[in-house]
Amino acid sequence: MEAWESNDREKSSERSSKGLPLRTREPPIYTRAMRRHDDSARLARFGVSIEENLLAAFDRLVGEKGFTNRSDALRSMIRSELLETRVEGDPDAEVIGTISLVYDHGSRDLPARLTDLQHRHHRSIVSTLHVHFDAHNCLEVIVVRGRLGDVRAMSDSLIGARGVQQGRLIINAEARAGDRGSRHHH
């Protein structure tokens, strides 16, 4: 019998005598040789202690975001945080992301100013999507790729343009320097 099993038995006895539900748990760290579809990573299991109200809120988030389970949600959150931490302090990091803007297209010369700003940064722009979502407002989504410092400067100038109602830069991934995706085929 492992030490953690003995300890769990004692805790289970205590919980049972207090009328509390029994808990079971796996060893503190348990690594399984589960293979992903790409055969590149092994999965590790670990336990997490968390307040019940925080877990309930997380479970709601898992459902609302359409994750299959908690593990998928947690992996996604960890990847996002690691990416943000990795590139945050490195203006030379090569990144791929999106800039989204919402604005009133009747706002003075705003569409022309936004277009001019995009032309100034044309080397970092991969694609642009422009949607008229009502009689006055437009949504523009700009896919960007390049040095984080350049992408941020462009994003700041677009989001800060007078008349832009909302804007956001999302860094979606790190890119390899010089790789413009030319070898990627579907």
The span from the CA of 2 to the CA of 9, in Å, is 11
Handedness of CA 169, 100, 77, 36 (dihedral sign): negative
| Apex 111 CA angle, 105 and 114, nearest 5 | 135
Identify which of 84, 79, 82 has the alpha carbon closest to the alpha carbon of residue 67.
Answer: 79
Look up the CATH superfamily of 94-174: ACT-like. Chain A, domain 2 (3.30.70.1150)
Q: Where are the domains of the chain?
A: 1-47, 56-88, 94-174
Looking at residue 100, its pLDDT comes to 97
Q: What's the 3-state SS for 18-63?
A: CCCCCCCCCCCEEEEEEECCCCCCEEEEECCCCCHHHHHHHHHHHH
pLDDT tier at 6 (50, 70, 90 boundaries)? very low
pLDDT tens digits along 136-150: 999 999 999 999 999
| Apex 81 CA angle, 88 and 83, nearest 5 | 55
Looking at residue 58, its pLDDT comes to 95
Who wins on pLDDT, 142 or 173? 142
pLDDT tens digits along 7-58: 455 555 555 555 555 544 444 444 444 444 555 678 899 999 999 999 999 9
The span from the CA of 186 to the CA of 169, in Å, is 27
pLDDT tens digits along 72-122: 999 999 988 888 888 877 888 899 999 999 999 888 899 999 999 999 999
Looking at residue 128, its pLDDT comes to 95
Who wins on pLDDT, 88 or 164? 164
pLDDT tier at 180 (50, 70, 90 boundaries)? low
